[in-house]
């Protein structure tokens, strides 16, 4: 094989014949997937799936795509049984070596399946360049591994209602309000948002995604699971795994450490009836009062934030001190986090986002109960983007604090607030803020020491004094709802995703905003991205808040 680096698409379909692990019920399996690149002692990538309860035949249908994968990489999959009161039990594991012989067979199978799919009328063509068939002779299959390629029909008859049609569409433009052009230009080169797998258009079966479930194109394996030593049996069932392989489409990196997870973004939403009852949130779909928390697994975090979680909690902020220095409050916030994010298989929705249009659709254009919404977010060390609605009421705001989304982590990757701006509602202040804000950011960057300390002490941007009237707010929400109906995959024309660093708890550095913008652009192609410095661009935030009434505090009654 002439390619030292390749693109790999993995599709973990599921397992069958897992042993009984629980005294009551069968097993509660999930898997942990690990990539080990040659010469590296630390895993280059690790992923944990969701749990299936009380089954010996779990069907995950989880797609994980990579680029810049070096030859000789080992893929290890460990199947675990979740226990609620004790440590989770290992069920079995398997390992796949991505050597030249295997990758040649996988590349040949992928090219053949794509050729068949392209010849079938009505079948989408692959998004990535079709790989040339390798000239090497195909060696015999290894014992215990069944191999066959799957074409447009896929490997399964029953596709879940998943995975969005990430068709064409232009990658989202990145803009960095409050930062210099040099940093933005550098990150435009870093951004890999235009990288797409064949699975994006010809795709894979998914569990619960935003659109039509596509079909997997590649090599299908049936891998026997080695039973854990404690089980006293040789086999623990079989794992169904699909492998697609193509020449690397992003160019060669500097070494094996350049392996990059490229998606898709997986999401999970959780609705807490208790929290919803206390905060007054109503889910229009079910009629239940529900406070929804979202958890998105972002791709490519190490590419843009190689040092991981480096933003510590703000020790100069009195409210953060009260929470982090109190065992009782720490426990209370931890309980809040578990109440909203615990994966017990109930009141959860899961799926895949293949572009900015899917994000807009997931959040219904940022509208709930006929009003546009703001969201409080944290990006945590594991690459998860956790967020919920930001509210001006005390308990609603308390439930959405950054410490809760971070599960009281001492450090996070980034934190702040964000909103979706529909076509035609972009504030003029945001469009005109780039040059002036860039100068302010450069001046702030030059003032080290005292200037940095002052920024750390500032808890959050000031709230605007006024808001639009209810009639105008209702018209904005109606416009957003109508525009969101046309969004899917990478189709999000006219929409803007605006993120800021408005967090008193973590006070993230404004110097990292360009990297945040590049990360978001990479994960949500097709969606325009703007990032705003909450200190240098308070007027921009004021204009954004003004058009989202739920983000503004209630009007102060006039004194008699």
Kindly report, residue by residue over 103-152, the tens digit of the pLDDT: 999 999 998 888 888 877 655 544 433 333 333 333 333 333 444 444 43
Instruction: Kindly state whether residues 365 and 233 are assigned to the same domain.
Output: no
Q: Which two tokens stand for residue 133?
A: 């068939």
Instruction: Kindly state whether residues 346 and 230 are assigned to the same domain.
Output: no
Q: Is 511 helix (H, G, I), strand (E, B) or coil?
A: helix
Question: What local confidence, expressed as pLDDT, does residue 191 receive?
Answer: 34
For residues 228 and 90, give the distance between their C-alpha atoms in angstroms, rounded to a whole number.
6
For residues 504 and 316, give the distance between their C-alpha atoms in angstroms, rounded to a whole number.
9
For residues 486 and 480, give the distance between their C-alpha atoms in angstroms, rounded to a whole number.
11
Instruction: Kindly state whether residues 228 and 317 are assigned to the same domain.
Output: no
Element (H, E) at 10: strand 5-16
Instruction: Kindly state whether residues 302 and 227 are assigned to the same domain.
Output: no
Does residue 531 fall inside a structural domain? yes
For residues 533 and 535, give the distance between their C-alpha atoms in angstroms, rounded to a whole number.
5
Q: Which two tokens stand for residue 216?
A: 């997997």
Question: What local confidence, expressed as pLDDT, does residue 178 receive?
Answer: 39
Instruction: Kindly state whether residues 357 and 242 are assigned to the same domain.
Output: no
User: What total of structural domains would you count in the chain?
Assistant: 2
Instruction: Using the structure block, give the residue that is written with the tokens 């079938």.
Output: 120
Question: What local confidence, expressed as pLDDT, does residue 412 receive?
Answer: 96
For residues 363 and 546, give the distance between their C-alpha atoms in angstroms, rounded to a whole number.
20
Among 224, 250, 276, the domain-final residue is: 250
Closest by alpha carbon to 373, among 360, 386, 384?
A: 360
pLDDT tens, residue by residue, 515-557 = 999 999 999 999 999 999 999 999 899 889 988 887 876 655 5
Give every strand in the sheet of 291-297, ordered side by side: 174-177, 528-532, 496-500, 414-421, 375-379, 384-389, 291-297, 265-272, 348-353
Question: What local confidence, expressed as pLDDT, does residue 272 receive?
Answer: 63
Does residue 457 fall inside a structural domain? no
Question: What local confidence, expressed as pLDDT, does residue 119 receive?
Answer: 79
Instruction: Kindly state whether residues 104 and 82 are assigned to the same domain.
Output: yes
Contact (CB, 8 A) for 157 and 488: no
Structural domain span for residue 87: 5-117+216-250
Instruction: Kindly state whether residues 76 and 102 are assigned to the same domain.
Output: yes
- Those residues of the chain that have pLDDT short of 70 are 1-3, 23, 121-215, 250-257, 272-291, 343-348, 391-400, 432-466, 553-560
Question: What local confidence, expressed as pLDDT, does residue 194 receive?
Answer: 36
Instruction: Kindly state whether residues 358 and 404 are assigned to the same domain.
Output: yes
Q: Is 302 helix (H, G, I), strand (E, B) or coil?
A: helix
Instruction: Kindly state whether residues 226 and 303 are assigned to the same domain.
Output: no
Instruction: Kindly state whether residues 284 and 409 are assigned to the same domain.
Output: yes
Closest by alpha carbon to 130, among 247, 219, 243?
A: 247
Question: What local confidence, expressed as pLDDT, does residue 215 receive?
Answer: 64
Instruction: Kindly state whether residues 242 and 339 are assigned to the same domain.
Output: no
For residues 186 and 191, give the distance between their C-alpha atoms in angstroms, rounded to a whole number.
9
Instruction: Kindly state whether residues 351 and 245 are assigned to the same domain.
Output: no
Q: Which two tokens stand for residue 138?
A: 């195909």
Among 200, 227, 250, the domain-final residue is: 250
């Amino acid at each position: 094989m002439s390619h030292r680096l390749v693109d790999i698409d993995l599709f973990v379909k599921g397992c069958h014949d897992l042993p009984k692990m629980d005294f009551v019920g069968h097993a509660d399996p999930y898997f942990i997937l690990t990539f080990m690149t040659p010469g590296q002692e630390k895993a280059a990538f690790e992923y944990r799936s969701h749990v299936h309860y009380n089954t010996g035949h779990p069907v995950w249908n989880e797609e994980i795509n990579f680029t810049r994968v070096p030859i000789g990489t080992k893929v290890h999959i460990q199947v675990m049984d979740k226990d609620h009161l004790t440590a989770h039990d290992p069920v079995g594991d398997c390992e796949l070596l991505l050597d030249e012989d295997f990758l040649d067979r996988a590349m040949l199978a992928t090219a053949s399946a794509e050729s068949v799919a392209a010849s079938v009328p009505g079948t989408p063509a692959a998004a990535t360049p079709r790989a040339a068939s390798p000239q090497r002779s195909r060696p015999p299959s290894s014992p215990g591994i069944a191999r066959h390629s799957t074409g447009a029909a896929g490997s399964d008859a029953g596709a879940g209602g998943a995975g969005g049609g990430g068709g064409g569409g232009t990658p989202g433009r990145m803009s960095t309000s409050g930062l210099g052009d040099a940093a933005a230009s550098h990150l435009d080169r870093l951004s890999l948002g235009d990288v797409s797998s064949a699975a994006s258009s010809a795709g894979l079966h998914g569990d619960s995604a935003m659109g039509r479930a596509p079909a997997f194109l590649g090599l299908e394996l049936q891998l026997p699971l080695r039973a854990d030593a404690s089980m006293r049996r040789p086999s623990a069932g079989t794992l169904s795994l699909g492998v697609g392989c193509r020449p690397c489409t992003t160019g060669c990196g500097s070494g094996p450490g350049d392996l990059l997870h490229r998606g898709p973004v997986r999401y999970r939403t959780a609705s807490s009836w208790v929290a919803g009852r206390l905060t007054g949130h109503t889910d229009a779909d079910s009629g239940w009062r529900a406070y929804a928390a979202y958890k998105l697994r972002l791709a490519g975090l190490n590419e843009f934030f190689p040092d991981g979680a480096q933003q510590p909690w703000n020790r100069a902020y009195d409210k953060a001190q009260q929470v982090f220095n109190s065992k009782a409050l720490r426990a209370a916030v931890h309980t809040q986090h578990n109440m909203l994010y615990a994966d017990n298989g109930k009141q959860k929705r899961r799926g895949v986002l293949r572009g900015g249009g899917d994000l807009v659709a997931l959040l219904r254009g940022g509208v709930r109960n006929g009003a546009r919404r703001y969201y409080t977010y944290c990006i945590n060390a594991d690459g998860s983007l956790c967020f919920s609605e930001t509210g001006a009421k005390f308990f609603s705001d308390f439930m959405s604090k950054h410490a809760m989304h971070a599960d009281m982590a001492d450090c996070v990757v980034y934190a702040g607030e964000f909103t979706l701006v529909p076509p035609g509602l972009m504030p003029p202040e945001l469009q005109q803020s780039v040059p002036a804000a860039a100068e302010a950011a450069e001046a702030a960057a030059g003032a080290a020491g005292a200037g940095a300390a002052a920024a750390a002490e500032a808890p959050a941007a000031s709230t605007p004094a006024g808001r639009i009237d209810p009639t105008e707010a209702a018209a904005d929400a109606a416009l957003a709802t109508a525009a969101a109906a046309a969004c899917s995959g990478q189709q999000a024309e006219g929409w803007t995703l605006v993120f800021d660093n408005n967090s008193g708890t973590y006070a993230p550095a404004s110097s990292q905003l360009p990297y945040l913008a590049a990360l978001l652009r990479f994960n949500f192609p097709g969606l325009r991205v703007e990032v705003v410095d909450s200190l240098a661009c308070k007027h921009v935030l004021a204009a954004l808040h003004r058009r989202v009434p739920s983000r503004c505090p209630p009007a102060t009654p006039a004194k008699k």
